[in-house]
Amino acid sequence: MRGDIFMAKKMFREAVDAYTEGSQNDAVLLNKTGIAYHQMMDLRTARRYYERASKVNPEYAEAINNLGTVYYAGKSYRKAISQYKKALRYSPNSASIYSNLGTAFFARKDYKDASVAYEKALSLDPDVFESRNTRGVLLQERSVEERAKFHYYLAKTYAKAGADDRALLYIRKSIEEGFKDKKKFMEDSEFAKIRDLPEFKELMTLEPRVL
């Protein structure tokens, strides 16, 4: 509990000290220790703790997912995908893990599989892409290099799910971040139902930001 309080205050070193006072055969504590090191950007040590947690409990989806985020941070996207898929075997209804899987596919420019994973994540939790809470036991990956394209695909995902307001929000974000292929918004079937909205028509007049 003291460790969790320190984590909430972003006192990660103190959290590590508190967690390591507990049992070193407790998968949850080992995983939380890994997250504390992860937040301090000590990914090598974080990985070691995630691996220890998954050895103590081989079906601990959160630790397996978090190990995937370490691989993702090191741009080992294939290994990250492998870990996320493994985690989903033990936690098949985790929207956050599906979101991470989609982001890893996206990083490999596998946009088709990324879209499938994002749609599944959204079906499990309509707010999965809006959550910013990384405390607790499971990390959700947010860093992508092609942000304009990433937000275009999120807009498609929301539009397909009928979440018009969020679709419009991410269309705006994608354009503002430099997405130049605006004809996709006029051609993609996912956007058909919102093309007559005044907000959509206004967005189509925006010029991409020069980055």
- Are 92 and 157 contained in the same domain? no
DSSP code of 207? P
Residue 135 in any domain: the answer is: no
Residue 129 in any domain: the answer is: no
Residue 115 in any domain: the answer is: no
- E strands along the chain, which residues? none
Q: What is the mean pLDDT of residues 28-47?
A: 96
Q: What is the mean pLDDT of residues 170-175?
A: 94
Residue 78 in any domain: the answer is: yes
The structure tokens listed for 124 are 């499990």
- Are 6 and 90 contained in the same domain? yes
Residue located via tokens 């397996």: 64
Residue 125 in any domain: the answer is: no
Domain count within the chain: 2
State the chain's maximal CA–CA distance in angstroms: 60
pLDDT at 95 over 60: yes
> What pLDDT score was predicted for residue 138?
78
Residue 119 in any domain: the answer is: no
Listed residues 61, 96, 131: the one ending a domain = 96
Structural domain span for residue 199: 147-203
The answer to whether 60 and 27 are in contact (CB under 8 A) is: yes
Task: Check which CATH number belongs to the domain holding 11 and give it.
Answer: 1.25.40.10
Residue 141 in any domain: the answer is: no
Measured CA to CA, the distance from residue 131 to residue 97 in angstroms comes to 13
The Cα-based distances of 73 to 43, 101, 198 in angstroms read 8, 13, 40
Residue 42 in any domain: the answer is: yes
pLDDT at 178 over 80: yes
The model's confidence at residue 47, banded by pLDDT at 50, 70 and 90, is very high
Helices 43-56 and 27-39, interaxial angle, to 10°?
Answer: 170
pLDDT at 211 over 60: no
